[in-house]
Amino acid sequence: MLNKYPMWKNIMVMLIIAVGCFYAVPNLFGEDHAVQVVATRGAEVTTSTQSIVAEQLAGKGIAVKRSELENGQLLVRVQDAEQQLLAKEVIADALGDKFTVALNLAPATPEWLESLGGSPMKLGLDLRGGVHFLMEVDMGEALHKMEEGKVADFRSQLREEKIRYAGIRDTAKGIEINFRDAETLGHAERFLKTRTKDMLFTDVSSGDNFVLRAVMSEAYIKQVKEEALQQNITTIRNRVNELGVAEPVVQRQGAERIVVELPGVQDTARAKEILGATASIEFHMVDDKADASAAASGRISAGSEVYQRREGGAVVLKKEVMLTGDHITGAQPSFDQYSRPQVSINLDAKGGSIFSNVTKDNVGKPMATLFIEYKDSGERNADGSVKMKKIEEVISVATINQRLGRNFVITGLGHAESQNLALLLRAGALIAPVSIVEERTIGPSLGAENIENGVQAMVWGMAAVLIFMLVYYRGFGLIANLALTANLVMVVGVMSMIPGAVLTLPGIAGMVLTVGMAVDGNVLIYERIREELRAGRSVQQAIHEGYGNAFSTIADANITTFMTALILFAVGTGAVKGFAVTLMIGIATSMFTAIVGTRSIVNAIWGGKRVKKLSI
């Protein structure tokens, strides 16, 4: 019995360990403070943008470590956190509101290592931190939208009942409906009270001006605000899922705010753009009878309005909304036959029916897609809340060539913009605008002292195990120590290779547990070898029997633990899932290093030789 591994098996062991080490190396380089720039609303980040940013930063004396333009995004690395904050302000002022400027922590991995696929593992908020957003819901706009909906409802209800009215408008004091006489007003009031339980109706007529005012009840206002907050939380959570962030936190804070924490996020500018965007679309018919010169001077009919086109110029649209984005059930970016970006839209049954009826009556006429977005104006309302700026742009005007149904496309967008719009429409529109009132990349939430203590516990625990193994098992203990070190390196390497894996503080606990389980396998093997030697077996037989007979015991213990970790991963969330991922990876790597790795070294040193005594 020679106890020799074939050459291919030794090469396989060395190759697997080498791959693990290679992917673990990027974790040694740390991170750079950076500012990320992403274009929005039809703009593009080009080399010209990069030059402008470089000039502005040089003018302010901000040293740039590296500036990278890739995939339509600009990443500017600076020296420290103080210069990072200053650089963000300078870049935002220089580029304007067509660009999203966000803080970032960029891996300092060398370019040659990145080109080979090396990247550091993602750390959770409790270790490295991540992106923290505090978002405020514009409840005033939520109530205003609800009132606009009530105005449309009142119009349709009064028409169905054939009650004539002079006009309906939404005012600061509530919805006011004008009538020509008191009798019609009374009839309308009695009718609307039976149809609308959430509104309070009051006769505010004066002289010959017969006016019925409708305001929301306090209970209904409270309900609207609560629904707006809950729906926005759900929508933002959907958007986070679309971004593919591992272990995110999306929760309410108070009556009007939402906290979003994204651990380990690299693309913070995209996260800010997607999460903070209140994007929706509306479809309007173009008023092709409007006089262009008259519209330019502001003279248009009461049922139309002038909007700006994204590519420049103005277009007159009819105020009546054909369809809103609320009926959209699916949206995917795609390309037309000429390779131009477009968004393929799917509607629900109600939306498809509405769109079909509207387009049937307007074949041959132009239809416009109106893109509506709310952005932070930089100003505050009297109550201290963020004042939002509404931006409305026509992104496309197309002629209706045939009756449309539940599936159609939107054109006129850039590639990146079509992808973002599709993502927003898939995840759902925010019922009310949200503004990011606080944005920061945050450090460990459990404190640097706790993190240091956790790492020290792992280091000292491992040191104690290494010393014990070296003293108690001598030469074989040294081999076990090499396997144990390789095991930890491989855990880090595998964690770095898996895109969605995030190391948290409980994950470190999983690594500590892995150390114990890894050395446990070696202890079982070595004790079995000692027993075989005491029973009078030869050295080669003892080695063979030790590894062979201990394998079933090690496999049983590790497989049952692996199954437990798998269940924790399936049903757990947050820290529990992070612990489970680390533990599963550690079990797999520890079995490899304890059984295959150490056997390869033992065979190389003692296999194929006439050895009378082992250092064990």
C-alpha–C-alpha distance, residues 359 and 284, integer Å: 11
Q: Which of 187-191, 491-495, 577-581 comes out lowest in average pLDDT?
A: 577-581
C-alpha–C-alpha distance, residues 107 and 32, integer Å: 6
535: helix, coil or strand? coil
* CB within 8 Å of 312: residues ≥ 6 apart: none
* CB within 8 Å of 529: residues ≥ 6 apart: 476, 542, 543, 545, 546, 614, 616
Note the CATH number of domain 31-107.
3.30.70.260
Of the chain, the percentage scoring pLDDT greater than 90 comes to 15
DSSP state letter for 594: I
DSSP state letter for 286: B
pLDDT of residue 450: 62
CA 181 to chain centre: 56
How confident is the model over 291-295, as a mean pLDDT? 66
C-alpha–C-alpha distance, residues 93 and 101, integer Å: 10
Strand partners, 380: 386
Most confident of 24-38, 100-114, 394-408, 499-513: 24-38
pLDDT of residue 481: 92
The residue assigned the tokens 């250092």 is: 615
What are the contacts of 512-515 at 24+ separation with CB within 8 A?
512/457, 512/458, 512/461, 513/583, 513/586, 514/487, 514/488, 514/582, 514/583, 514/586, 514/587, 514/589, 514/590, 515/458, 515/461, 515/462, 515/465, 515/484, 515/487, 515/488
Are the CB atoms for 406 and 355 separated by under 8 Å? yes
Centre a 10 Å sphere on the Cβ of residue 335 and count the other Cβ atoms it contains: 11
CA 166 to chain centre: 49
C-alpha–C-alpha distance, residues 486 and 494, integer Å: 12
User: For residue 490, is pLDDT > 80?
Assistant: yes
pLDDT of residue 15: 93
* CB within 8 Å of 356: residues ≥ 6 apart: 403, 404, 405, 406
CA 590 to chain centre: 33
The residue assigned the tokens 């090499």 is: 482
The residue assigned the tokens 């019609």 is: 184
How confident is the model over 540-552, as a mean pLDDT? 87
Q: Which of 146-155, 401-410, 423-432, 487-496 comes out lowest in average pLDDT?
A: 423-432
Average pLDDT, the chain: 82
pLDDT of residue 292: 63
Residue 400: which H helix or E strand, with range? none
Are the CB atoms for 129 and 441 separated by under 8 Å? yes
The amino acid that residue 354 corresponds to is I
| Of 298, 303, 277, 300, residue with least CA distance to 290 | 300
Strand partners, 123: 503
Are the CB atoms for 419 and 333 separated by under 8 Å? yes
pTM exceeds cut of 0.85: no
Residue 305: which H helix or E strand, with range? strand 304-309
CA 333 to chain centre: 18
User: For residue 243, is pLDDT > 60?
Assistant: no
pLDDT of residue 420: 65
User: For residue 247, is pLDDT > 60?
Assistant: no
Ranges of each domain in the chain:
7-25+449-606, 31-107, 140-219, 279-415
64: helix, coil or strand? strand
- CATH for 279-415, among 3.40.50.2300, 3.40.50.300, 3.90.1530.10, 3.30.1360.200? 3.30.1360.200
Most confident of 97-106, 237-246, 574-583: 574-583
| Alpha-helix runs per DSSP H in 60-138 | 81-95, 111-115
Q: Which of 227-231, 279-283, 354-358, 484-488 comes out lowest in average pLDDT?
A: 279-283
pLDDT of residue 179: 92
Does the structural domain 7-25+449-606 have CATH classification 3.30.1490.480?
no
Centre a 10 Å sphere on the Cβ of residue 4 and count the other Cβ atoms it contains: 14
How confident is the model over 332-352, as a mean pLDDT? 81
3-state SS string for 164-204? CCCEEEEECCEEEEEECCHHHHHHHHHHHHHHCCCEEEEEC
pLDDT range class, residue 198, cuts 50, 70, 90: confident
328: helix, coil or strand? strand
| Of 22, 14, 17, 24, residue with least CA distance to 495 | 24
Tokens of 182: 């008191």
User: For residue 212, is pLDDT > 90?
Assistant: yes
User: For residue 504, is pLDDT > 80?
Assistant: no
DSSP state letter for 28: G
Most confident of 181-195, 251-265, 278-292, 435-449: 181-195
Higher pLDDT, 305 or 427: 305
pLDDT range class, residue 500, cuts 50, 70, 90: low
215: helix, coil or strand? strand
What are the contacts of 167-173 at 24+ separation with CB within 8 A?
170/144, 173/213, 173/215
C-alpha–C-alpha distance, residues 375 and 433, integer Å: 8
What are residue 361's phi and psi, to 5 degrees?
-85, 0
pLDDT of residue 159: 85
Tokens of 504: 């948290």
C-alpha–C-alpha distance, residues 56 and 90, integer Å: 7
C-alpha–C-alpha distance, residues 117 and 22, integer Å: 10
How confident is the model over 346-360, as a mean pLDDT? 82
C-alpha–C-alpha distance, residues 473 and 469, integer Å: 6
The residue assigned the tokens 């924490």 is: 261
User: For residue 408, is pLDDT > 70?
Assistant: yes
User: For residue 72, is pLDDT > 80?
Assistant: no
| Of 465, 440, 598, 605, residue with least CA distance to 528 | 598
CA 410 to chain centre: 25
Are the CB atoms for 90 and 56 separated by under 8 Å? yes
pLDDT of residue 166: 87
User: For residue 299, is pLDDT > 80?
Assistant: no
Kindly compute the dihedral angle of the four CA atoms of residues 246, 249, 250, 255, in this order, to the nearest 10 degrees. Answer: -170
Are the CB atoms for 376 and 438 separated by under 8 Å? no
Class of residue 486 by CB neighbours under 10 A (exposed 0-12, middle 13-18, buried 19+) = buried
